[in-house]
Structure 1
Amino acid sequence: MSSQTSVLAKMFLLFFALFGMFANLAAAVPVEELEKRDVYDPPVLYPHAGTIWYKGQRHNVTWDTTNHPVNITNKFGRIMLRKGLIPTPLILEENFDILLGRIEVTVPWVTPGDDYSLVLYGDSGNFSPMFTINE
């Protein structure tokens, strides 16, 4: 057997040994544990479609906190502004308890448009419907 064939044979064996090891690790996690995930992404209630905000105003962003899981991995929320399909780097509020259900934000000085939405982050992100920001 040539040295190149020997190296390939060893790599082949190593691959299957690692594959078997990872397969055993995956099988060691009970299916019940995989189903108990506590990702929480509450739906945004306000702003809703048809809402018009004006630069500099303050508004309560609200979301539905009913049906939240008992154990939430990340209870700290963050609200970011999004224009169209491009997330903007504007954080309107952060480090609040996601179970509050509302937080007051100030409308930033941005280009007017009717394609804004908010992204509410906790364990996961949830988008508001599109709304308008005017001058």
Structure 2
Amino acid sequence: MKFTNALMTFTLSLFALLGMFAAHVSALPLHEDSLEKRDVYVPPVLYPHTGTVWKSGQRHNVTWDISNPPVNITNRIGFILLRSGKFSTPVVLAHGFDILLGRIEVTVPLVLTRSDFSVVLFGDSGNFSPQFQISGLDL
């Protein structure tokens, strides 16, 4: 029993020591020369725009301006969420595309008719379209 307690104490002490070492190493500053410079890319959404009306089930191209991308983009893999009012919904309209494509076709989901929808384009950061309407279910 004494051997088991001693082994357990030793093991816990070893893990604590390794944890402190890992925390110390992760806190060390990196030399700026070792990191490739990256830029956050926030291309403005062009479509949908104010006055746009989508109907559930239709297909539309979400488009964004790619005319001035930085040389080194932090994250080129994009995804698009649907937003309603002030909240992003869990509805993913598209994912896994190159942000430099400038457009991606999406299928309009079945939603309640509202005029406060927007799309959120993610890559480096989230960029919102203006609000537009989706004509779907009417209650």
Q: With structure 1 as the length reference, what TM-score do the two structures score?
A: 0.74
- 2:32 and 2:92 map into 1 onto residues whose CA distance is 37
- Cα displacement (A) at 1:119: 0.1
5+ residue gaps, structure 2, are: 1-26
- Cα displacement (A) at 1:72: 1.1
Identity, % of aligned pairs? 62
The alignment's C-alpha RMSD in Å is 1.8
2:67 paired with 1:66: yes
Q: 2:135 corresponds to which residue?
A: 134
Q: 1:42 corresponds to which residue?
A: 43
- 1:134 and 1:29 map into 2 onto residues whose CA distance is 51
Structure 2 residue matching 1:99: 3-state secondary structure: helix
- Cα displacement (A) at 1:66: 1.0
Report the count of equivalent residues.
Answer: 108
Q: With structure 2 as the length reference, what TM-score do the two structures score?
A: 0.72
5+ residue gaps, structure 1, are: 1-21
Q: Please say if residues 38 and 72 of structure 2, whose CA atoms lie closer than 8 Å, have aligned partners that are also in contact.
A: no
2:100 paired with 1:99: yes
- 1:58 and 1:42 map into 2 onto residues whose CA distance is 22
- Cα displacement (A) at 1:111: 1.0
